[in-house]
Structure 1
Amino acid sequence: MHTMSSGRDEQAASGQLNLAYIWTISSVAALGGLLFGYDWVVVGGSKPFYEPYFNLTSEAQVGWANSCSLLGCLLGSVFSGLVSDRIGRKKLLIIAAVLFGVSSILTGWAQGFSTFVLWRIVGGVAIGVASNISPTYIAEISPAAWRGRLVTLNQLTLVVGILAAQVVNMLIAGDVGGAMSHAAIRDTWQGQYGWRWMFTAVAVPSVIFFFCAFLVPESPRWLLKAGRRDRALAVLRKIGGEAYAREALAQIEAGLERERAETGSANELFAPAVLGVLLTGVGLAVLQQWSGTNVIFNYAEEIYRGAGYDLGGVMFNIVITGAINLAFTLVATATVDRLGRRTLMLWGAAAIAVIHGLLGAAFFLGIQGPVVLLLTLGVIAAYAMSLAPVTWVLLSEIFPNRVRGAAMSIAVSALWIACFVVTFTFPILNQRLGAAGTFWSYGLVCLAGFIFIALRVPETKGRTLEEIEAGLSRRRDR
């Protein structure tokens, strides 16, 4: 069976790739990332307003309001893993769009806290589906030489969504004073209605995503696995022409032939040949969340208030964090296929560990204002160049094709469990350990993550998915 020996061979055999088409369908899939980013972060900026509205006062209530959607993320990830190999990637993109639109409206106009939590969880299901399927779909339609940039596009749209949520939050928050009591904030327009529009705004891009998702093709790898060879070939032709299509088809079929020769039961996920890769993926997912960076987005109010900023300053600082996040994600997009995945991950884990140490020291010494802001921006910059986008690239690449849907689901489920734990526990840790102890703890996690990456994570840049699978198989056989 003819296969290509490297990602460069694929590029040479491809002739003229239809880059406009590739980027268009990848961008449609990446709209799931945009909605993911908005829906996930909007809660941080609306927090000063819905908390007084629902009279949330305890650390447990505050933590639950911020983290409840993450249970939905877990459910969505499990659901997408169970059905993605049965119904395909495209249908799940459409399902995610529907859930985003419905949940955003019903969350925004919830009258009671229980209803608010219910629809936040449904919105989390949409995030879980999109976080699993969007990068998987993009990886499966991408030529090897472009895959890193295209999968990172999903992270880029995610941070655009984050920044959009932060800007919308700041504009709606307006000039509400930082010294106002909960009762006074509850009586303002922002406390009664403004926070509702913060959530509802995501319905507009949800509708766009819904209609655009009907226009993209199904993943050619999934089509071949489902026995639809002619349709898979047609999609590959549209991506890169006849020569590229024949080469890519031969390679995918060779990979599927290897899979059929091996065990095909559900227990294969836990066979030694696959379990090591699965544990690596789970470790990367947990590290991304337990690095502690995301608490800066979800708990920016507490962090920046603790650093001496009033509410207006908090909202402005949140927008700055989003802008830095976007800028350095663009850097990651430009470098991930040149510097490589492993290099960026090692650099990021080390940099975040050091900056968390400095951030903890600043809180310990009582240093406030711009120093804390600059250190948090440093954490976000390092995270945006490394753990944030590259984790998703690696998760979309390292799993064998025959179990990719289920393995991706397990890894993403682990990510959302880790995210729930770190989001729910931050108010409790902050109260018991103080901000210094909390950030030092996150720094120790990043140090352990650096060692984990050095020992367990291979370099995958410029290699086709089938080559990565074969390389991991050879490593396990040694």
Structure 2
Amino acid sequence: MFLKNKSSVFLITAVASLGGLLFGYDTAVISGAVGALENHFITALEDNPAEAVASIFQFKIILSICIFAIAILFGSFMLKLFKNRFSYAIVIGFLLLGAGIYYFQFLTLPGILTENLKNSILGFMVSSALVGCIMGASMGDNIANSIGRRNGLIISAFLFILSACGSAYPEAMNIFFGDKLTSFILYRILGGMGVGLASMLAPLYIAEMAPANIRGKLVSWNQFAIVTGMLVVYFVNYFIVKGQTEEWINTVGWRNMFFSETIPAAVFFLFLLLVPKTPRFQVMKGNKDKAMEVLTRLNGPEKATNILKEIAASFNHKKEPWLFYGWAVVIIGLLLSIFQQFVGINVVLYYAPQIFKGMGMETDASMLLTIVVGAINMLFTVLAIFTVDKFGRKKLMIIGSVVMAISMIGLGTVLYNESSGLPALILMLLYIAAFAMSWGPVTWVLLSEIFPNKIKGVMAFAVAVQWLANLMVSWTFPMMNNNVRLTEMFNHGFSYWIYGGMAILSGIFIWKFVPETKGRTLEEMETLWKPETEV
């Protein structure tokens, strides 16, 4: 171990933040490979009808399993909210209704590779990791409390490595008894599970290891690590494709993009073996001596005893039902997560090269501009970290919503008028800057603050909803953007108008319903939301 002095906490933070970096790396690596994946997995099926029928059948099975798994996860969350039989019946009724609509609108369709089905497969390939994110985030709390925060991160690192290798070579590593499309999707889901675990466990590990006086600063760097991971992979993708032919990119280049993740993932895995389990987990498992040892090395012997007593006392706090403070705080938390995704940010992050190509740019130029997107995202995220406590949460969020709405509606109008080029690029970058200064990091700040300690478990529900909203937006974008009829009518501007409208709604929502949490302690949040029994 390298726990020798107080500076070791920064090394521990750096190691845990690699989980955030891989979070960003894994979710953004696919951005440079979208065109190649469409060519390798989908376009190739057009010349082989028999293989297309088999692939469509397997795709339906995978999608059915994913929807069933997500329904079970969200059903369990919903049952934590409802406490009577009538409410259980409502939840089950909605699940059955959704299953019926899904069956008749999708599963019964013939195995023909139609335009809409091709776009659906492409969208799900790009967003399939998000299914794993939902699962990983939902399991994070149980894993953290059973095997520990550090060991959970070790599992996530292993999943990153496995997913990187399997996504790069789905044919050679196909252990799923399906075709290469099935293999690729399932390996991306495994990687998503690693992302979901890391998204919850990395900041939790840092928070429990950091001394109180620098905890906020150290935890905030996890968000910085996420956008740094995105920027790093944009550079990696650019240098992989630079000067290469489209044929090489479609056969070899995309594989190198995914396989490149094995390097940071392996580093993450090895360094995690050197860091300790958190004192809070050690106390939870009855290992107070080991907890005391870590606390002493991080905080000094004088503070360690008091901190250990506080940790032990914290387990005596009573948890309350999720609706203890009524519906308002729960709905606000869920809508924060939904609007963060419905404004369309991950469409830009996942499909940026394809968007720039749609503006008439060559492959090298589109990849280079993707690096600019990542740099602006990182720069303005850092600005948000240093200004959120000065300007307040609501002000930043409302300003961000206004600028995003102007940018997205403007971008859709520019594309509709077939006059893209520089105006479209400026609007795209303005949108990224606005999101990075507001809804990107500040949503996480609000989610960590608005839920009183007695119902902190609702945050896991909100995070899972956020991943689900991400999946919906990322999956549906190709269906809207590549649809022939919509393209003829709106010339790719339609989807951006949708996201602009969502940005307007998000601003109204913040203005009308979300309280300002700047300067409030977590204890004060208890008084902001009146318990249901007192209403």
TM-score for the superposition, normalised by structure 2: 0.75
Match of 2:32 in 1: 45
Instruction: Tell me, yes or no, if structure 1 residue 33 matches structure 2 residue 92.
Output: no
Offset, 1:224: 4.3
Match of 2:261 in 1: 202
> Which of 163, 185, 192 matches 1:103?
163
> How many Å separate the matches in 2 of 1:146 and 1:370?
43
Superposed, which structure 2 residues align to 1:245-256 within 5 Å? 245=304, 248-249=307-308, 251-252=310-311, 255-256=314-315
Instruction: Tell me, yes or no, if structure 1 residue 137 matches structure 2 residue 205.
Output: yes
> How many Å separate the matches in 1 of 2:396 and 2:302?
33
Match of 2:331 in 1: 279
CA change 1:210–1:79 in 2 (3 A) is same
> How many Å separate the matches in 2 of 1:346 and 1:62?
34
> How many Å separate the matches in 2 of 1:281 and 1:140?
23
Match of 1:292 in 2: 344
Match of 1:375 in 2: 427
> How many Å separate the matches in 2 of 1:289 and 1:89?
27
Q: Deviations over 1:74-97 (max 9, x none)?
A: 111112133323332221111100
3-state DSSP of counterpart to 1:387: coil
Offset, 1:399: 4.2
Match of 2:300 in 1: 241
Match of 2:460 in 1: 409
Give the letter aligned to residue 474 of structure 1: T
Match of 1:450 in 2: 507
Give the letter aligned to residue 462 of structure 2: A
Superposed, which structure 2 residues align to 1:299-448 within 5 Å? 299-400=351-452, 404=456, 406-430=457-481, 431=483, 432=486, 434-448=491-505
Contact 1:149 1:334 in 2 (8 A): no
Offset, 1:374: 1.3
Contact 2:164 2:262 in 1 (8 A): yes
Offset, 1:474: 1.1
CA change 1:21–1:389 in 2 (3 A) is farther
Q: Which stretch of the first structure deviates more once superposed, 93-102 or 329-338?
A: 329-338
Match of 2:140 in 1: 80
Number of aligned positions between the proteins: 440
> How many Å separate the matches in 1 of 2:208 and 2:127?
31
CA change 1:419–1:434 in 2 (3 A) is farther
Contact 1:97 1:206 in 2 (8 A): yes
Instruction: Tell me, yes or no, if structure 1 residue 59 matches structure 2 residue 119.
Output: yes
Tell me the percent identity: 37
Match of 1:4 in 2: none
Give the letter aligned to residue 510 of structure 2: I
> How many Å separate the matches in 2 of 1:37 and 1:161?
5
> How many Å separate the matches in 2 of 1:211 and 1:235?
20
Instruction: Tell me, yes or no, if structure 1 residue 217 matches structure 2 residue 273.
Output: no
Contact 1:85 1:222 in 2 (8 A): yes
3-state DSSP of counterpart to 1:44: helix
> How many Å separate the matches in 2 of 1:157 and 1:384?
13
Q: Which stretch of the first structure deviates more once superposed, 53-62 or 95-104?
A: 53-62
Offset, 1:449: 1.9
3-state DSSP of counterpart to 2:440: helix
CA change 1:138–1:59 in 2 (3 A) is same
Offset, 1:36: 1.2
Offset, 1:199: 0.2
Offset, 1:459: 4.7
> How many Å separate the matches in 2 of 1:222 and 1:274?
31
Q: Which stretch of the first structure deviates more once superposed, 83-92 or 69-78?
A: 83-92
Match of 2:529 in 1: 476
Give the letter aligned to residue 133 of structure 1: L
> How many Å separate the matches in 2 of 1:71 and 1:217?
30
> Which of 216, 223, 232 matches 1:164?
232
Q: Deviations over 1:344-378 (max 9, x none)?
A: 33332332222222222222332211111111111
Q: Deviations over 1:314-366 (max 9, x none)?
A: 11211111111122222223334444444433332332222222222222332
Q: Deviations over 1:277-307 (max 9, x none)?
A: 4433322221221111110121223422332
CA change 1:458–1:88 in 2 (3 A) is farther
Offset, 1:156: 1.2
Match of 1:22 in 2: 9
> How many Å separate the matches in 2 of 1:101 and 1:439?
35
Give the letter aligned to residue 441 of structure 1: I
Contact 1:144 1:462 in 2 (8 A): no
Give the letter aligned to residue 41 of structure 1: A
CA change 1:356–1:73 in 2 (3 A) is same
